[in-house]
Structure 1
Amino acid sequence: MLQVTGAGAAALLTLSACGSSDSDSGSSSDSTASDSADKKVTGTVTVFAAASLKESFTTLGKQFEKAHPGTKVTFSFGGSDSLAASITGGAPADVFAAASPKTMKIVTDKGDAAGSPSTFVRNQLEIATLPGNPDKVASLKDLTKSGLKVVLCDKTVPCGAAAQKALDASRLKLTPVSYEQDVKSALTKVELKEADAAVVYKTDVKAAGDKVEGVDFPESADAVNDYPITLLKDAPNSAAAKAFIELVKSADGQKVLTEAGFLKP
């Protein structure tokens, strides 16, 4: 009887253990499902991005919203230095995409970035002229011609800093009719025929279509800008922010950016 009782107890213990194991498995499965539900991307993601990213990021924003029903991507486009100042000043945002490491450093130095920013594209300068290039601009030196109205981005803005770097490398001095706060503003001056030419990015010339004509210049190869992107430390919607950054760096995101004229990192 003792042996039978012992065997019976062992069987009961075995059954109990199996039941406990099944129960734990179910609990684990439920927990996984719960975690998955918690990670579902919803809500608004706010992206601060360099003005030159406007067309590409707007396209990617629509793709993101389609892939994640219930989300909304809102953008603030402008000069990278102004956006960085807004972020360090406490403006609520989830993602920052700058047009240069220097302007990104404004944010990282203040401890407002979550982790290390990564370069996702690069961009090169080009001269934008009036359609048909009536002033026959063929080089960076041609922009110094007397009477030619040229617009540059402000030197504190990445496109302006890059233009100045190219001018310095060529030992050229250029006094523009105005310095603009972002690359779109500089390009608009030419589109409105308020200026004869502007030094902007290739991507902006391409986005403008037949409103302007682009002129390449070799010195631009020495002033290519890296574009870093980062999740912000106090991001109101970090889950959506991470998902948006993943899209930007994905093959699909890179396709949109390279088709717009950006260079791969």
Structure 2
Amino acid sequence: MSRRTAHPPRRAPAGRTPRARSTAVGAGTAALLLLTGACATGPAGPGAGAGTPTGTVTVFAAASLKESFTTLGRRFEKAHPGTEVAFNFGGSDSLAAGITNGAPADVFAAASAKTMKIVTDHGDTAGDPATFARNRLEIATLPGNPRGITSLSDLARPGLKVVLCDRTVPCGAAARTALAVAGVGVTPASYERDVKSALTKVELKEADAAVVYRTDVRAAGDRVEGVEFPEAAEAGTDYPIALLEHAPNPTAAKAFLTLVRSAEGRRVLDGAGFLKP
């Protein structure tokens, strides 16, 4: 076993004062700390950094959110240079199925609490979803309402072509509730996979009317005309949003959630016709 040999203390080299030695040691320590910090930090990846959004955030959102979320996505990218918001809009049920089957996504915004529960029960949400908006149904008719539709009961008239959303998607479920409250039976010309598809049937004059959300009627502008009906109050739908458990970019996802629920997000949603939760 080796032994440490004691040596008499060395004298400082000529011309090097104790102050100079202290300065040299301090500079060396600073350089070491700087190097250590650089190694610990490593290269920045998607969402890297303490709360600094970077990279792509993937948002699965109900079709009725297309216009408002597209606006929010542009604002998010402008506020956070170097980010990109990639949207997948569609029927909430098909989006939920994709998530539970492992589709990579960061955020899910559904058009009903029931659809969100599918994802939550599967263990695919990180924390509890938050309701950020409500929506209400309207009847979309051709411009000028040439068939004179004023109520849900008019949709049962013979010869009238009516389209509804598929029963499995939130707008279809809400329409069935409203029709049941009104005591009206309707045999639709078709069931559509999401609310945008139902509205398109009217826009293309392939249907006389469709039961859709008021936000979609507003987004369509002068291509359709909206008819309100009192039973819509009984068939309102909540819109929950959640960070997903296996989000590839959780930092950017949290920042997008914050924007949606912020005062700025509320203004965009209000402008699209959504109601406060």
TM-score, normalization by structure 2:
0.83
Q: Where do residues 109-188 of structure 1 align in structure 2 (5 Å cutoff)?
A: 109-188=121-200
Q: Deviations over 1:77-105 (max 9, x none)?
A: 00000000000010000000000001001
What SS does the aligned partner of 1:38 have? Answer: coil
203, 218, 224: which one pairs with 2:236? 224
1:211 maps to a residue whose letter is R
Q: Could you tell which deviates more after superposition, 50-59 or 168-177?
A: 168-177
Q: Which residue does 1:253 correspond to in 2? A: 265
Q: How does 1:184-263 map to 2 (within 5 A)?
A: 184-263=196-275
How far apart in 2 are the matches of 1:171 and 1:40?
Answer: 53
Deviation at 1:37, TM superposition (A): 4.1
Q: Secondary structure at the match of 2:128?
A: strand
Structure-1 residue corresponding to 2:61:
49
Alpha-carbon distance between aligned partners in 1 of 2:52 and 2:143, rounded to the nearest angstrom = 48
Q: How does 1:36-115 map to 2 (within 5 A)?
A: 37-115=49-127
Supply the AA of the counterpart residue of 2:78.
K
Q: Distance in 1 between matches of 2:183 and 2:133?
A: 28
1:226 and 1:244 map into 2 onto residues whose CA distance is: 19
Deviation at 1:38, TM superposition (A): 3.3
User: How big is the shift at 1:39?
Assistant: 2.5
Sequence identity, in percent? 72
Q: Deviations over 1:109-164 (max 9, x none)?
A: 10001000010000000000000000000001001000000000011100000000
Distance in 1 of aligned mates of 2:51 and 2:254: 11
Q: Distance in 2 between matches of 1:156 and 1:144?
A: 22
CA RMSD across the alignment: 1.7
Q: Which structure has greater helix proportion?
A: 1
Cα distance in structure 1, aligned partners of 2:105 and 2:94:
14
The total of aligned residue pairs comes to: 237
Per the TM alignment, residue 171 of structure 1 is displaced from its structure 2 partner at its CA by 1.4
d(CA) in 2 for partners of 1:39 and 1:180? 41
Runs of 4 or more above 2 Å deviation: 36-39
Question: Residue 113 of structure 1 aligns to a residue in which SS?
Answer: coil
CA shift for structure 1 position 183: 0.1
Q: Which amino acid aligns with 1:77?
A: F
Which amino acid in structure 2 is aligned with residue 190 of structure 1? V
Q: Which residue of structure 1 lines up, in the alignment, with residue 23 of structure 2?
A: none
**Counterparts of 1:38 and 1:118, CA distance in 2:** 24
- Gap runs ≥5 in structure 1: 1-18
Cα distance in 2 between the residues matched to 1:201 and 1:39? 36
Q: Cα distance, 1:172 vs. partner?
A: 1.1
**Equivalent residue letter for 1:38:** A
Q: Which amino acid aligns with 1:208?
A: A
